[in-house]
Amino acid sequence: MKVLVIGANGQIGKHLVRLLQDSDEHTVKAMVRKKEQIDTMKNIGVDAVLGNLEGSVAEIAEAAKGSDAVIFTAGSGASTGPDKTLLIDLDGAVKSMEAAEKAGADRFVIVSAVQAHNRESWEGSPMSPYMVAKHYADKILEASSLNYTIVRPGGLLNDPGTGKVSVAENLEAGSIPREDVAKVIIASLNEESTYRKGFDLMSGETSVADAVKKI
């Protein structure tokens, strides 16, 4: 597949770009926000385009043109407030879905958050605005025409990936290296067992390849 990574300069995004660049199955195009980020990507041999999630759907669709799949791993970041959470994690995600449909990129994988499908899981949490944004972005994706996969990782770590994970519709709180999240996303691209499904994701004892086959 020709894969557009939205949020390619983020922490999961950088792992995705590297793994896709090394893949024999896929090619990668990185969507980034700043000109200097384009230069950085091109310096490592990665095709890159500018795109602004607070801009128009048409702009994002132009970035997605020619792609078979879109991976959405962008986020407003922990240092921003609920306003940016609404604009990026919710509206930016939905714009990306509309852009993928417009560009004919049928496959769409989104990075959500553990238990984002379960409202009770964040009751009273200071993370509530973020979880609400993830919840409704996922709901809109489920209602779209796209062949989606919703990946809901636990607490994100910068440790090296182990290649061993646990996936299920519902998992207890836990954590996972960002590198392993990226590996699961890439393994899901062509794995039919993940089509039109969402799942929680943590570190575990099952290889990535086996885990995605059992979803």
Has residue 24 got a pLDDT over 90?
Answer: yes
Residue-level pLDDT at 80: 84
pLDDT confidence of residue 42: 93
Per the CB < 8 A criterion, the answer to whether 71 and 81 are in contact is no
Kindly indicate the confidence band of residue 158, based on its pLDDT and cuts at 50, 70 and 90: very high
Mention every residue, 6+ apart, whose C-beta is less than 8 A from residue 10: 73, 74, 75
Contact yes or no for 152/199 (Cβ under 8 A): yes
In this predicted structure, what is the pLDDT of residue 94? Answer: 98
What are the residue numbers of the active site?
A: 130
| Assigned token pair, 10 | 């983020």
Write b or e for each residue in 44-59: b if 16 or more Cβ atoms lie within 10 A of its Cβ, otherwise e: eebebbebebeeebeb
> In the prediction, which pLDDT does 112 show?
98
What tokens does 43 get?
A: 């310096």
pLDDT at 77 (0 to 100): 83
Confidence of residue 173 (pLDDT cuts 50, 70, 90): confident
Residue 132 banded pLDDT, cuts 50, 70, 90: very high
pLDDT category of residue 78 using cuts at 50, 70 and 90:
confident
Tokens 């999961």 map to which residue? Answer: 12
What three-state secondary structure class fits 42? helix
Determine the average pLDDT of the residues in 38-58: 96
- The answer to whether the predicted template modeling score (pTM) of the entire model surpasses 0.95 is yes
48 DSSP β-pair partners: 30
Q: What percent of the chain has pLDDT over 90?
A: 96
Averaged pLDDT of the chain: 96
